[in-house]
Chain A
Amino acid sequence: DAGVTQSPTHLIKTRGQQVTLRCSPKSGHDTVSWYQQALGQGPQFIFQYYEEEERQRGNFPDRFSGHQYPNYSSELNVNALLLGDSALYLCASSPTGTGKHEQFFGPGTRLTVL
């Protein structure tokens, strides 16, 4: 049973560029959440997608946007990159209707903005 997968593993961009990160949820999961983790900090919630719509959003600017496809996979897009966007971006998936609320994380994408 494949867990949560993310691509790419690492990415280097320059300020002002745009980036797209991808996530495939764990088999049987239909909800995808995205988190940003700065070095030495806990993950910060960006947003969550369910049924191809953004269901909840954290305190992140509109430069951060996302999408969920009918197969439940998801993308995180960041426009006009800033140096401060350098972080580990984590995708987490969870199922609905099971009564279990834990989220399972992928390995992350390390984004470096120069």
Chain B
Amino acid sequence: EDQVTQSPEALRLQEGESSSLNCSYTVSGLRGLFWYRQDPGKGPEFLFTLYSAGEEKEKERLKATLTKKESFLHITAPKPEDSATYLCAVQATPYNQGGKLIFGQGTELSVKP
């Protein structure tokens, strides 16, 4: 069964304290791995897509990496405005058959000034 597990469930950081979020996945065939940011009561905001092991993507203080079993979201020198829930999702079905996203439960990040 295709499955995504994120850790930790919650992470508290001081402003400027770098850290990483983990996303472990088990899928029959990975078509793509996606990272989203979600603020309370809002819809998920797209951050990155990774397609193959070894791929990396960066955006401001965020960097996403991918291996054959997991993905990491590295946060460098975070600021309070980075506080949110970060969601990881995988797509296992060939896109022309639907391409549903399978989500993890998310990591709730809190950055204190």
Contacts and interface: CB of A to CB of B under 8 A. Distances in A.
Interface of A: 4, 6, 33, 35, 40-45, 48, 50, 55-56, 58, 88, 90, 92, 94, 96, 100-108, 110
Contacts of A94: 99
Contacts of A100: 49
A96 B3 CA distance: 25
Contact of A55 (B44, B98, B103, B106): B98
B46 A104 contact: yes
B101 A45 contact: yes
Contacts of B49: 100-102
Given A48-B98, A56-B98, A101-B99, 19 more contacts: A4-B43, A6-B43, A35-B101, A42-B106, A43-B101, A44-B103, A56-B97, A56-B100, A92-B101, A94-B99, A101-B31, A101-B49, A101-B91, A103-B46, A103-B101, A104-B46, A108-B42, A108-B43, A110-B41
Contacts of A96: 95
Interface of B: 4, 31-32, 34, 36, 41-46, 49, 87, 89, 91, 93, 95, 97-106
A45 B99 CA distance: 10
Given A42-B104, A42-B105, A56-B93, A105 B43 contact: yes
A50 B83 CA distance: 35
B44 A105 contact: yes
B46 A41 contact: no
A36 to B, nearest CB: 11
A47 B32 CA distance: 19
14 contacts: A41-B105, A42-B106, A43-B103, A45-B102, A56-B93, A88-B41, A90-B44, A100-B49, A102-B32, A103-B34, A103-B101, A105-B43, A105-B45, A108-B42
